[in-house]
Every structure is written in structure tokens, then in C-alpha cells.
Chains A and B, each alone.
Chain A
Amino acid sequence: MTPRSSALDVDVELGRPGFALSVALRVEPGEVLAVLGPNGSGKSTLLGVLAGLLRPDRGRVVLGGRTLTDAGRGAHVPPHRRGVGLLAQQPLLFPHLTAEANVAFGPRARGVPRRAAREIARRWLSEVDVLELADRRPAELSGGQAQRVAVARALAAEPDLVLLDEPFAALDVDAAPALRAVLGRVLRAGGRTALVVTHDPLDALVLSDRLVVLDAGVVVEAGPTRQVLARPRTAFTARIAGLELVAGVAAPTGLRAPDGAVLAGHREPGLVDGVPAVAVFPPRAVAVHRERPNGSPRNVFPVVLAGLEPRADVVRLRAAAAPGGPGWAEGLSADVTPAAVADLGLEPGLPVWFAVKATEVTLCPAPGETVSAR
């Protein structure tokens, strides 16, 4: 199988009552682009335009040099001739076919003989670790299993571009991380150009090289995924991200930060030692101490409080690097209760210790650019 690597060029406008999409973006061959945005921001509309299910009012879609849509000339390649695969929230496996026949559907549709299509299907099923389910009907699969089969089916069709529409949204919290890892692996192994629509920054971190943030139909931010999420330039992106993030390299004991400190955490499946990785945790998982705590938390580091900011029912503390402390702590946040602020007598300029339980930290691979200190 030859990896399909086609560049995608999009510049489209589409208007509907009360909504307008106006997006221009480019995805390099083999690159995975994440599209992040809240509900109603136009993510699904964009996918519909790319898949050929919606005709834009203006603009062009060019994939690998082929013009798929050109509103000016009225050109519109129908979905089945675009080479654009779509993986939706729901697996939508054909209920009358076995898992294997579902995956073989794409190869059969492009004229591969039955036996060869079967071989391709089995290879893809084993690629997503569900070969033993080949003979099952969709009704006999769990949500996670069905979505794996759907991944295999989408990729077995050899699309030039893969569209992923919140592929984990309908899954259990148990099943999502494993599938995320599988998807990250197969997308990369195939060198496929892909576009992942999501509202979960973790999806973007694990799967994508670059990220665009969509709001009300327009791109409000774009750039390398980790950079955009780690240093949101708009409050909007920061709110989406809603995460604290430390970049480094995966090590056997956790994440090794640029200064050599190691952050312990829960390893996402598929994390390999030595690759660029990030430790991600929510600000509410950070505990604040006046003295260095001893006991259970393994991730403890000194900071200086830079600011206090009241939020809905918590106070957000913003940290600055402490003299002699780790540089990557600059800008990290902690959410604590107003009572804790009073008890500890917290105020800007005060040196304190941040502690994050290892169970609250997620370690995941961060593909793309090399590590940079925060």
C-alpha cells in the first residue's frame, strides 16, 4: 500500500440564515490538522464542504492538485469520486454486513476482487487490533470496538484525505484514550493527510501537527498545536484549552522537562520513551502549599504567585518561575477555593509550592515540532 499524501487547499464561504462560514486553510501532505471550536462554530459545515455533501457559495477546494469544488465555475466532484473519507461520531457500520465486510466495502467499491478485498480488510482490522471481531455483526460490537472497525473501514478505502468528525465524542471515557492512540498511530503510519474536528484539546494534542481554532465560522487562531494550546493568543482559545501543559520528553518515570525535572503521571497508550510529549492537567488539580509538602504528591515545585483572579467559585492563581525553581512553571495556573486563599494568606509575590497528584496528570505524545521550554 502506498501512503497517500496530498495537500489540501481550502478557501470557501458558505452562508446560512444566522451563520456564515468563511475559511481559508492549507493542510500539507501527510499532515494532521485539528479544527477546534465550540458547537455552532462551523466545524461540521467545513467537513460537509470538504466531503462534498455541501456546496459552498464561493471558493475552491483543491486536494492533491485536483479541484474538487470550484463554486465560481460551478464545479463539484460528487462525494464518491473525491477520495475523501469521513469518520463520524457514530461508527455507522452497515448493520447487515460483518465487521470484515464493512471494511472490505471500500476496496470492493473501487473494484478490488473479493478475495483481495478480504485480505485488505483483515489487515486493517488487525491494524486497529480487532481482527478477532472480523465475523461479528455491528450489533454484537461495543461502541469502542465498532468505532475501531469504522476507522479501519475509512482507511481501507484509501482516501487521499481523511476527515474525522469528533471521532471519540460518542465513546465511553474508558474507550476513548485507547482509540485515540490507535488513530494517532495509523494516521501517522500511513502518512495520511487528515483533518480532525474536535472540541477536546486532548484530541488535538495527540493527533495533530497543527491546529486552527474556529469561532463563528472564521479561523481565530492557527499554528502548531502545542504552541497554540500552550500559549493561547486569545482568551477564547485559552478557554477551549482549559488545561495546564508542560512540554518535554517521555521518560520511563514520566515526563522529563527541559530542566531535567520529571513529572509523573498517567501514560496515554502509545507513548514511547524518548519522543516529544506533554504533561497535561487541569488547574483545579493543583494544590498550593506554603511549605514544601511531604507525602503522596510526587510532582512538587516551587513558584512565585504572580496574580490572583476570582473565577466563578474558585480563585485562579497564576504562577511565575521562582528563583532557582523550574522555568517551565512560568504561567501555570492553579484553581483553589476562596477559603484556601484566606487560610494560606495568599497574595501576589508570595513564594509557594505547587503540587499535582500523579493521578491527575496525563502524559501524551506530542507529535510535530521539537520541545521548546515554556
Chain B
Amino acid sequence: MAAAPSSPGPLRPDRPSVPFGRGGADRHRTRAALPWPLWGPALAGLGLLVLPVLGLVARADWVRLPELVTSDAALTALGLSLRTAAASTALCLLLGGPLAVVLARGRPPGLRVLRSLVLLPLVLPPVVGGLALLYLLGRTGLVGRYLDLYLGVRVPFTTTAVVLAQTFVAMPFLVVSLEGALRTAGDRYETVAATLGARPWTVFWRVTVPLLLPGLGSAVVLAFARALGEFGATIAFAGSLAGQTRTLPLEIYLQRESDVDGAVALSLLLVAVAAVVVVLARPRAVEGAR
């Protein structure tokens, strides 16, 4: 960046506004002292989060591990998990993306209530969510009975049900983190685009979405991770049919009864996937989801 403008006048040729590394630690800086009693609970908390994974690693049968994670049942469950998690992530994006934009930019009536409703699945036990889905879409459910009656469609205990259960649980993560990103970014660029004559749809695709891409990436990863680990809502709404609805978490739960080594091996597989997700999505997703 050495090119100086040939323009006249005392224009400063080069003063790039690139910040010095984000949040980079400055070793010269001191802070207000931390009260020492915080250290004990902090370390205990960290231990509670990290040590169980170590326990899992210690318990694993590393010799049989390759064989265990490549068993038919394991591969079937893993394949189903990846497919359904991908499908539900796509569904989250398709429905949750617009929902986040409407919540952040629109002025829907009862915005506060709507936002609380979106948060509901975050705090609801997933099993309850699964039951709720069952009584909405089940054969005798509120909507399900008509689907069955008029269209002959039965949703529960199918792969579709798995996807819906995962979407139900994962979408709030995407909506909350996207909405946070949108609010942080503000609408100044969109306003400028409008004064340049861009129609709302043009503004959305050429300004809102590109500016949102970094936040979108981590929101998607977060939603995918949540969908991949989904258990409670899935087992309540979709059951545990091998190859159809038995995802990896369900398979682990089942194998725990018969083959502990297998369950541990598959657990490690999910830990590995989670680790990749955390590396990819941290820390923005965590900040966005606060």
C-alpha cells in the first residue's frame, strides 16, 4: 500500500485504518487486580467442564477403536446424523435467517414477546420439545391428524421427524446469534444503500447478506453442532429405528447397555466433531449467542 494519490491538496496519502490485531494482549498493560477468592471456583468449574472428556479418553479402548467406530451400526448412525444435521442446518438457515432479519430490522407487533418465543426452545428440555412436536404433528396431533387424513402424510418416527426435531432445537441458536450480529452491525449501510436508490431486495442481497457473512458462518456451525448432538427431542418425536431415525447420540445411548467400549468409542467420535466445530466457530458464535 505505497501508492500515493496524485491528487492536489494536503490530502494525507496513506493512513490505512486497519486496526492493530483485535483484542491483542498488550504486555505493557496492567489491569485492576482480580479478587483472589475467584480463582478456586473458577478452576473447579473449568475442571468440571474439561475432566469428563479426559475420563472418556482414559476409558477408551484405543486398540479396538478403529474397528468400533467403523462397525456397520456406527457408520449407519454417523451417516444418518451427518445427513439429518446438514438438512436441519439448511432448514434453520432458510427459516431462521429471515426470522432473524425480521426480528432485527422489521417492526413486527409484539417484538418482545416474539423474541422470547424464539428463545423458548433454548431453555426447554429437548424431550419436552419432542413431545410437543409429537402432539402437533403426530397422527392424533393438532395438525398431524389432517396431514394424515387428507394427504396421507405421517411425520413421526421418520427421518423427516429427526430433521424437524433437530431444527426445533438448533434454530434458536442461529436466530439469536444472527440477530445479535445484525443489531451490532446497525442499519447505517442499509440506509446509505437505500439513498443510493437500491430497492429493499437489492439492499438485502448486496449489503445485508455480505456484511453478515462472517456472523452467518459461525451461526451455521453452531446450529450444525447443536443438531448433531440432538437426543431428547429426537427420541421423543422420531424414535430409534436403525438407519431411519437412530442418529449417533441415540446409537451411543443404546450401545451403552450392551457394549460400553463401543459407546465410548462413538462418544469420542462426537467429541472430535465437536472439537472441530469449536475451533471453526469460536469465539464469535459464543459472543453472538450470549
Which residues of chain A have a CB within 8 Å of any CB of chain B?
51, 53, 78-86, 88, 90, 92, 94-96, 105-106, 109-110, 129-130, 132-133, 139-145, 148, 153-154, 157, 159, 172, 174-175, 177-179, 181, 269
Contact = CB atoms under 8 A, between A and B. Distances in A.
Contacts of B9: 177-178, 181, 269
Contacts of B23: none
Interface stretch (B153-161, B204-212, B224-232): B204-212
A15 to B, nearest CB: 21
A24 to B, nearest CB: 23
Contacts of A95: 211
Given A80-B196, A142-B11, 16 more contacts: A79-B195, A80-B197, A82-B195, A86-B195, A94-B211, A96-B211, A105-B198, A141-B16, A145-B5, A159-B195, A174-B10, A174-B12, A178-B7, A178-B8, A178-B11, A269-B8
Interface string B186-204: 0011011111111110110
13 contacts: A85-B195, A86-B192, A90-B188, A92-B189, A94-B189, A96-B213, A130-B5, A142-B11, A145-B11, A154-B195, A174-B10, A178-B7, A269-B8
Contact of A109 (B5, B10, B14, B199): B199
A133 B191 CA distance: 25
Given A144-B11, A178-B11, A153 B196 contact: yes
B192 to A, nearest CB: 5
B3 interface: yes
B116 interface: no
Contacts of B199: 80, 109
B197 A83 contact: yes
Nearest to A156: B196
Nearest to B188: A92
Interface in B1-54: 1, 3, 5-18
A106 B193 CA distance: 8
- Enumerate the 8 nearest inter-chain pairs by beta-carbon distance, A residue then B residue, closest first: A178-B9, A129-B7, A109-B198, A106-B196, A79-B194, A142-B15, A86-B195, A174-B10
Nearest to A138: B17
| Interface range for B | 35 or more
A133 B198 CA distance: 24
Nearest to A175: B11
A79 B194 CA distance: 6
Contacts of A106: 196-198
B221 to A, nearest CB: 20
Contacts, number: 113
B7 to A, nearest CB: 4
Q: Do most interface residues of chain B lie in helix, strand or loop, or is the interface mixed? A: loop
Contacts of B6: 129, 132
Contacts of A145: 5, 11
A172 B197 contact: no
Nearest to B14: A142
B5 A133 contact: yes
A53 B3 contact: no
B210 A96 contact: yes
A157 B196 CA distance: 6
A90 B9 CA distance: 20
Given A105-B196, A109-B196, A53 B11 contact: no
A130 B189 CA distance: 22
A73 B201 CA distance: 27
Contacts of A141: 16-17
A365 B207 CA distance: 39
A140 B197 contact: no
B9 to A, nearest CB: 3
B209 to A, nearest CB: 10
A107 to B, nearest CB: 9
A115 B110 CA distance: 46
Contacts of B5: 129-130, 132-133, 145
Contact of A85 (B11, B189, B196): B196
Contacts of B1: 140
Contacts of B13: 142
Interface in B154-192: 188-189, 191-192
Nearest to B13: A142
Contact of A78 (B11, B14, B192, B194): B194
B12 A142 contact: yes
Contacts of A109: 193, 196-199, 202
Contacts of A94: 189, 192-193, 207, 210-211
* Max chain B C-beta neighbours (<10 A), residue from A53, A95, A129, A148: A129
A139 B17 contact: yes
Interface in B92-124: none
B197 A144 contact: no
B17 A143 contact: yes
* Max chain B C-beta neighbours (<10 A), residue from A90, A105, A106: A105
